[in-house]
Amino acid sequence: MNERLSSLLKRYEELSLVIQDPDLAKDQNRYRSIMKEYSQLSEIAELHNQIEGFTNQFEETKTIAQEEKDPQMRELAREELKELEVKLRDAGDKLKFLLVPKDPLDEKNIIMEIRAGTGGEEAALFAADLYRMYSRFAETKGWKFEIMNSNETGLGGLKEIVFSISGNNVYENFRYESGVHRVQRVPETESSGRIHTSAVTVAVLPEADETEIDIRQEDLRIDVMRAGGPGGQCVNTTDSAVRITHIPTGVTVHCQDEKSQIKNKAKAMRILRARIYEMEEAKAAAERAETRKNQVGSGDRSERIRTYNFPDNRVTDHRIGLTLYKLDRIMEGEVGEIFDALKLSAHEELLRTTNSEAAS
């Protein structure tokens, strides 16, 4: 970790000179890249300077606590030492987190898929609730979201919805949402008041750029058809729906929300690209998992990750043992506390693994 810190501080000094070059702004792409890296390294440099200041202060205070003849001054010095120990520990922990290499996927936009599972109409209604929860959270962050494909039920539920979210570090926040979300509540259609358990499956795909995934036209089978589903009268008169099959992988994507066949095809290609990209990332992750186990979870869509219990106003994330009794607020989009806890747990695990590998 010390070697990495020295390397990053050296890079920070180099960039401090680079940003003073008036010609830097002439290349906007390079300017943005340099300024972004400089901003990230500035936080590390400032924290490192802060730790050095606390360390110097600690040594000076320690000398006073040991050598000062005035008992009252010695006692004050001992109290200050306790405060400095806490500051040093907290700053040191924060610096360790900042030194853990960032996952390049964290900055990506995402394509999210929510599908009703076991539970029939109640599962579809909860799928709509989850979409509302995620979209409200995105709104609070100022992120943009766009529905790419949806399949509604007659009662306002969603058999399936696919949508994109774009903004700063979207994948970093949503990456641990993939898996089975279980809901326990009394359905509106249940006259006897019995609690039902239903399930919804969520998949979070980092959105890939065209340059990252090479999809050959000859590997695609494209079918067009008339859109269907509730409220589809205006689009059913033309062949606007598009189904694209990637022959080598067997991945199939269907889009029908737009009235334009061209727009549906463009959205379908974005989803297809993201799914293939995720498949390749999953293979790489599986190889890493041979020697590294992430306690937050594998991201497997079949893994039950969370339970939403409406009678108790309780939500539990089973991967990290987190239970919160404010489900009503969480369903209104206040899901950030869960996201932060998951990120912290994953970061701590990565830090332990990094330290373990460095020690060996």
The string of DSSP letters for 154-170 reads TTS-EEEEEEEEESTTH
> Are 72 and 131 in the same domain?
no
Amino acid at 68: E
Domain count, the chain: 2
> Are 85 and 109 in the same domain?
no
Residue 189 confidence (pLDDT): 65
Query: Which residues does the chain have with pLDDT short of 50?
Result: 231-235, 291-295, 298-299
> Are 271 and 329 in the same domain?
yes
- Domain end, chosen from 99, 119, 148, is at 99
Give domain status of residue 42, yes or no.
yes
pTM beyond 0.85? no
Residue 96 confidence (pLDDT): 79
- Domain end, chosen from 99, 126, 146, is at 99
Residue 233 confidence (pLDDT): 43
Residue 317 confidence (pLDDT): 97
User: What is the rounded CA–CA span in Å between residue 53 and residue 48?
Assistant: 9
Give the start-end residues of each E strand in 153-215.
158-166, 179-185, 196-206
CATH assignment of the domain containing 120: 3.30.70.1660
> Are 279 and 173 in the same domain?
yes
Give domain status of residue 259, yes or no.
yes
Residue showing tokens 């300017």 = 31
> Are 281 and 320 in the same domain?
yes
Domain limits at 195? 104-288+298-348
Residue 229 confidence (pLDDT): 59
